[in-house]
């Protein structure tokens, strides 16, 4: 019984954080399912892919790959490059996901952009189990994406869209999360570095290939600036 | 593509994704303490990564043609101001999004 109460409290604490993601994932998921539907795939494709890949940008690219000829190496390389940013999420969550038993496996499996953002910044309320809180954030986001994509695949072109611009909900969410992170920092070296390096790499390398150069530059800069950053920002 | 090739393509996407998600946790095990340098990265990276994600959302906005990214910047400004004022996550996100949608549907 105790365990049941603990889970319910964690679910109640986690749910409000995931509401914006529900809006964003249903919109993007529907769009993705519809895209697959009109590209000639049955609804079980978006259903299977949203369940197992659970990573929006790659799933959109995968539609194009599925329409082309079979190219296993290129597919794997594309997946690794598009998803490389998850390496950073893992490093940032090493300590938070430590010692959470069997839940840890699912938490790592479902560590997408949005889940990472919430679990990295949210302050788990007093009296709420951390492991279950992270678990429900991950599970709810996974369910939103899965259901949105599947429904999009089912109803496909029947839907009429006059919701232009609703995808901005993701930008707004990352703005808020950026601000929350900003409030927590004593100095903003890392946040400013992230903005500046990303913007610079975007303008140099273009929208399709700026992530990897950005990650490399950030690693080099954070390593080179370790001393001053640790002294200025991270000292307790 | 045959159905088997399609399944393989999907499986490779899963494999690539899961490699990037699991690798840090496999390299730095749950049982041994994480090296100091990696702990430092773990604390320094989130700020930088959220900056990257914000830019990532704007990657397809063209600042030198069309609306010059003004609706996006205005939407971000409204979101940020709402958040600095009330600090209610849902209100800031909903307000910014509705403002942006109204802007591009009615004005631009």
pLDDT in tens, chain B (108 residues): 899 999 999 999 999 999 999 999 999 987 888 888 988 988 888 889 889 889 988 988 888 888 889 999 999 999 999 999 998 887 898 899 889 989 998 886
Q: Is B101 on the interface with A (CB under 8 A)?
A: yes
What does the mean pLDDT of chain A come to?
Answer: 88
- Interaxial angle between packed helices A72-83 and B3-27, expressed in degrees from 0 to 180 and rounded to the nearest 10: 40
If we measure between CA atoms, which residue out of A57, A30, A151, A51 comes closest to residue A110? A51
B37 sits in which H/E element: helix B36-57
The answer to whether residue A171 scores a pLDDT higher than 90 is: no
Q: What is the CA radius of gyration of chain B?
A: 21
Nearest-by-Cβ selection for B48 from A55, A172, A191: A191
Helix/strand/coil (H, E, C) string of chain A?
CHHHHHHHHHHHHHHHHHHHHHHHHHHHHHHHHHHHHHCCCCCHHHHHHHHHCCCHHHHHHHHHHHHCCCCHHHHHHHHHHHHCCHHHHHHHHCCCCCCCCCHHHHHHHCCCHHHHHHHHHCCCCCCCCHHHHHHHHHHHHHHHHHHHHHHHHHHHHHCCCCCCCCCHHHHHHHHHHHHHHHHHCCCCHHHHHHHHHHHHHHHHHCCCCCHHHHHHHHHHHHHHCHHHHHHHHHCC
Chain A residues with CB-CB distance to B33 below 8 A:
none
The answer to whether residue A162 scores a pLDDT higher than 60 is: no
Give the residue with greater pLDDT, A101 vs A138.
A138
DSSP secondary structure string, B75-105? HHHHHHHHHHHH--HHHHHHHHHHHHHHIII
User: How close B71 gets to chain A, by Cα (Å)?
Assistant: 10
Q: Is B88 on the interface with A (CB under 8 A)?
A: no
**Interface list for A 137-166 with B (CB within 8 A):** 163-166
Q: Which pLDDT score, from 0 to 100, does residue B23 have?
A: 96
* Average pLDDT of the segment spanning A136-149: 96
A168·B24 Cβ contact <8 A: no
Of A51-55, A58-62, A144-148, which range is least confident? A58-62
Q: Is A124 on the interface with B (CB under 8 A)?
A: no
The ranges assigned to domains in chain A are: 2-184, 186-236
Give the residue with greater pLDDT, A20 vs A158.
A20
Nearest-by-Cβ selection for A190 from B44, B57, B93: B44
The ranges assigned to domains in chain B are: 1-51, 58-108
**Interface list for B 25-44 with A (CB within 8 A):** 25, 28, 30, 34, 37-44
Q: Which pLDDT score, from 0 to 100, does residue A200 have?
A: 96
The answer to whether residue A236 scores a pLDDT higher than 50 is: no
A80·B83 Cβ contact <8 A: no
Of A104-113, A213-222, A227-236, B71-80, which range is least confident? A227-236
If we measure between CA atoms, which residue out of A57, A177, A98 comes closest to residue B49? A177
Structure tokens at A219: 């690693």
- CB-based contact A174:B80 (threshold 8 Å): no
Q: Which residues 6+ apart lie within 8 Å of A153 measured at CB?
A: A33, A34, A36, A37, A41, A42, A43, A44, A45, A46, A47
The pLDDT tens digits of the residues spanning A189-215 come to 889 999 999 999 999 999 888 888 998
Cβ burial B7-34 (10 Å sphere, 16+ → b, else e): eebbebbbebbbbbbbebbeebeeeeeb
Chain B residues with CB-CB distance to A190 below 8 A:
44-48
Q: Which pLDDT score, from 0 to 100, does residue A3 have?
A: 74
The answer to whether residue A4 scores a pLDDT higher than 50 is: yes
Q: What is the ipTM of this complex?
A: 0.86
With bands split at pLDDT 50, 70 and 90, how would you rate the model's confidence at A150? Answer: very high
């Amino acid at each position: 019984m105790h365990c049941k109460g603990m889970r319910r409290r964690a679910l109640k604490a986690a749910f409000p954080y995931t509401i914006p993601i529900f809006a964003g994932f249903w919109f993007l998921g529907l769009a993705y399912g519809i895209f697959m539907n009109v590209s000639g795939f049955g609804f079980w494709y978006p259903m299977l892919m949203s369940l197992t890949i659970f990573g929006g940008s790659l799933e959109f690219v995968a539609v194009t790959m599925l329409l082309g000829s079979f190219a296993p190496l290129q597919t794997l390389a594309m997946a690794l490059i598009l998803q490389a940013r998850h390496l950073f999420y893992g490093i940032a969550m090493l300590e938070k996901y430590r010692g959470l038993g069997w839940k840890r496996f699912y938490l790592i499996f479902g560590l997408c952009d949005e889940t990472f953002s919430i679990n990295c910044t949210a302050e788990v309320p007093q009296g709420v189990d951390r492991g279950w809180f992270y678990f429900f954030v991950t599970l709810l986001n996974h369910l939103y994406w899965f259901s949105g994509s599947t429904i999009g695949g089912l109803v496909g072109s029947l839907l009429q869209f006059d919701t232009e611009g609703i995808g901005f909900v993701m930008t707004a969410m990352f703005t808020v999360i950026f601000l929350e992170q900003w409030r927590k920092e004593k100095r903003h070296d890392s946040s400013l570095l992230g903005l500046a390096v990303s913007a610079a790499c975007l303008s140099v390398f273009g929208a399709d290939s700026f992530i990897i150069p950005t990650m490399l530059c950030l690693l080099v800069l954070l390593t080179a600036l370790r001393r001053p950053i640790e002294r200025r920002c991270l000292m307790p | 593509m045959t159905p088997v090739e399609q399944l393989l393509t999907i499986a490779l996407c899963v494999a690539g994704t899961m490699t990037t998600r699991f690798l840090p946790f496999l390299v730095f095990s749950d049982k041994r303490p994480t090296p100091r340098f990696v702990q430092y990265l773990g604390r320094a990276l989130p700020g930088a990564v959220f900056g990257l994600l914000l830019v990532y959302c704007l990657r397809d906005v063209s600042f030198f043609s069309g609306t010059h990214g003004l609706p996006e910047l205005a939407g971000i400004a409204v979101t940020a101001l709402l958040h600095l004022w009330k600090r209610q996550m849902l209100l800031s996100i909903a307000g910014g999004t509705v403002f942006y949608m109204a802007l591009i549907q009615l004005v631009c």
